[in-house]
Structure 1
Amino acid sequence: MKKLLAAAALALMIQPALAEDAAPKWSLAIHGGAGTLDPAQMTPDKRVAYESALQAALDAGAKVLKDGGEAIDAVKAAIVILEDSPLFNAGKGAVFTWDGTNELDAAIMDGRDRSAGAVAGVKTVKNPILLADTVRTQSEHVFLIGKGAEEFALSKGFPVTPPEYFATEARREALERLKAEKLSALDVDHKFGTVGAVALDQKGNLAAGTSTGGMTGKRWGRVGDAPVIGAGTYADNRSCAVSATGWGEYFIRVGVAHEICARLRGIREFNTLTADSSGVAVLEPEEAEYTADSVMADVAALGGDGGVILVTPEGHAIFSFNTTGMYRGRATSAGVNEVAIFGGEVGAGAKGTPNH
């Protein structure tokens, strides 16, 4: 009888743990740009504004995932919040080109079938991430640019957003200072203004999205890595989902987003082949961190900087950046919910990678 009671007690102790392990798993990470951020310039009011905006985006995406929604919808929900905020260089707060206009780029990718959509150089669409997803779902194409992308938007019912909606005084002053002092975009942009989100939903599907206004004073139709599938945005259920932010030319040369996913897929396949009889091996968070850091080191070796966010099929939400800071946040079904700005803050180690 004592043995039966002991066994019953043990079963009661184990049951909640098993239920917790079997609970639906989801994960989300977001960013609002990485760059040379100066803590001395971050006033308490400014910090509160950025953290509140990041938390709002995180909450919007997390709600979709908590409610059993799809990763692709969580990505859109988070990015729309950031596009609508004048604090970030995407949508409402986009930087000015040399000619004094706002040209917007965005991309999105679904890890289930690797379907993707992207737009570049659009000036009349309030939320470019939604247009990019419409390219993905309602056209036979992946990448549309400029007037053609805007004509496509009209054909799909997107209202025309007037140019004054995107203009902010802070961005206009940055352009004027760049021209007056003959500076580079790097001199007036303390951060690389790109926003992005990556997600894992309860069905195990991954998605990634990125949106940006580019670099202050850009000319000749310059396009960075954000809308380039494989450079600034990539998602594959077999490996991970990645969104990047940084000096786009270098991210394109390295193929950062795809490079991280390809390396992680190789590691996972190796782990599976070498797994013992207990079953299929999974990717450890340290392996994902090391891979992201290694690819970012490659970017740095070429002379570029910036950062990435990624989520793996196991639900690891990872940050890696080689700058002083990156506006970022993550939330998971395990109870993680945090936003941060500088390296070394909650959710990030000394080099920008997260502590687990």
Structure 2
Amino acid sequence: MKSLTALLAALAMTTATPSQAENWSIAIHGGAGTLERAKMTPELEAEYEAALQAALDAGADVLKQGGSAMEAIQAAIVILEDNPRFNAGRGAVFTWDGTNELDASIMDGRDRSAGAVAGVKTVKNPILLADKVRTESEHVFLMGKGAEDFSVEKGFEVTPPEYFATPARREALERMKAKQLSALDVDHKFGTVGAVALDMQGNLAAGTSTGGMTGKRWGRIGDAPVIGAGTYADNRSCAVSATGWGEFFIRVGVAHEICTRLRLGIAAPQDAADAVMQEVADLGGDGGVILVTPAGDALFSFNTSGMYRGRATSGGINEVAIFGGDAASSAAPEH
């Protein structure tokens, strides 16, 4: 009888459909905000779309080959951190004092292990350091010089400050100071980057990386490195990465709130994301989220006019988009 049972089990495995055996999905973002099509040249739009597609492809390739969700999101985020068009890694915005301070966080849905860093200035890819905090320390969150000392101990090269600086970001800071503008007047989008993924083993992961807000002062930290606000992953519910006005995302606990609603069965994935983003809007904040579910849904929700985003699934979806109403979008009501 045991041998017959084993044979039937083996036959069941061999007859499983590709969708059952190879289900994976990934979603990425490069920031949300006031994005106007009229101010976007065809050349610049093509450049952004190519950058998003490159990051999406890098993560999807990992998943297609049976790699883990953790590996996939890091592959995607590193590409966005290295691209000066996005406010993360190289191309990060300047603080009031004229420095680039970087934040990142990452979370594994299998065991809810997490790592985060804030205010680092010498780490080329903060998302990789956040993962090292997760895997090779007893802590979750390191900041400033301590995080940089930890990075050196773990073999990270010290990246000179000039690597991160770009003329466009410096001009934004100078314009802000000269005209006494707010960060929101200078930056009409939040260039935070992130990725969420489901791998073939059924595991979820999420990661987020940012340079913060132009002209930030007093060691300001937004939601990106805060587990539960900008990043969260739990195999029982979903994986979320957020981008937006960090203070409001922290107050709502956006990433964790969405996952909790799904875990408790309060709402369908899209409805949960839209409802939480509406809460952000009701408080006066804006931005967006990406999420994937254990079933392989790859979804977006944002209450701004656009969000740099993309998604790919084993079911054949592969798309990138920028503006609200484009193919990859699903927007919560604007405020």
TM-score with structure 1 setting the length: 0.88
- Which residue of 68, 74, 91 corresponds with 2:89? 91
Partner of 1:200: 198
How far residue 352 of structure 1 moved from its aligned partner, in angstroms, is 8.2
Cα contact 1:307–1:326 (8 A) shared by 2: yes
- Which residue of 340, 346, 350 corresponds with 2:327? 346
Q: Distance in 1 between matches of 2:277 and 2:17?
A: 38
Partner of 2:151: 153
Q: Bigger radius of gyration, 1 or 2?
A: 1
Partner of 1:273: none
CA RMSD of aligned residues (A): 1.6
Count of residues in Structure 1 that have an aligned counterpart in Structure 2: 321
Q: Distance in 2 between matches of 1:251 and 1:18?
A: 41
Q: Distance in 2 between matches of 1:114 and 1:21?
A: 26
The alignment status of 1:335 with 2:333, answered yes or no, reads no
Q: Give the SS at the match of 1:93.
A: coil
Q: 1:336 to 1:352 in 2, by over 3 A?
A: farther
Q: 1:231 to 1:349 in 2, by over 3 A?
A: closer
Equivalent runs, 1:92-111 vs 2, <5 Å: 92-111=90-109
Partner of 2:245: 247
Q: Give the SS at the match of 1:310.
A: strand
Partner of 1:130: 128
Cα contact 1:344–1:352 (8 A) shared by 2: no
Q: 1:352 to 1:167 in 2, by over 3 A?
A: farther
- Which residue of 181, 184, 187 corresponds with 2:185? 187
Partner of 1:176: 174
Q: Distance in 2 between matches of 1:214 and 1:22?
A: 40
How far residue 133 of structure 1 moved from its aligned partner, in angstroms, is 0.2
- Which residue of 302, 306, 313 corresponds with 2:283? 302
Equivalent runs, 1:17-96 vs 2, <5 Å: 19-96=17-94
Q: Distance in 2 between matches of 1:23 and 1:158?
A: 37
Aligned residue identity for 1:239:
S
Q: 1:333 to 1:326 in 2, by over 3 A?
A: same
How far residue 349 of structure 1 moved from its aligned partner, in angstroms, is 4.1
Q: Distance in 1 between matches of 2:228 and 2:18?
A: 35
How far residue 21 of structure 1 moved from its aligned partner, in angstroms, is 3.8
Structure 1 segments of 4 or more deviating over 6 A? none
Gaps of 5+ in 2: 1-14
Partner of 1:289: 270
Partner of 1:318: 299
Aligned residue identity for 1:129:
I
Q: Distance in 1 between matches of 2:105 and 2:305?
A: 26
Partner of 1:276: none
Aligned residue identity for 1:290:
D
How far residue 129 of structure 1 moved from its aligned partner, in angstroms, is 0.1
Partner of 1:7: none
Q: Distance in 1 between matches of 2:331 and 2:244?
A: 19
Aligned residue identity for 2:289:
V
Q: Give the SS at the match of 2:185.
A: helix
Cα contact 1:178–1:188 (8 A) shared by 2: yes
How far residue 193 of structure 1 moved from its aligned partner, in angstroms, is 1.3
Partner of 1:143: 141
Q: Give the SS at the match of 1:91.
A: coil
Q: Distance in 2 between matches of 1:137 and 1:214?
A: 25
Gaps of 5+ in 1: 1-16, 271-285
Cα contact 2:302–2:330 (8 A) shared by 1: no
Q: Give the SS at the match of 2:250.
A: helix
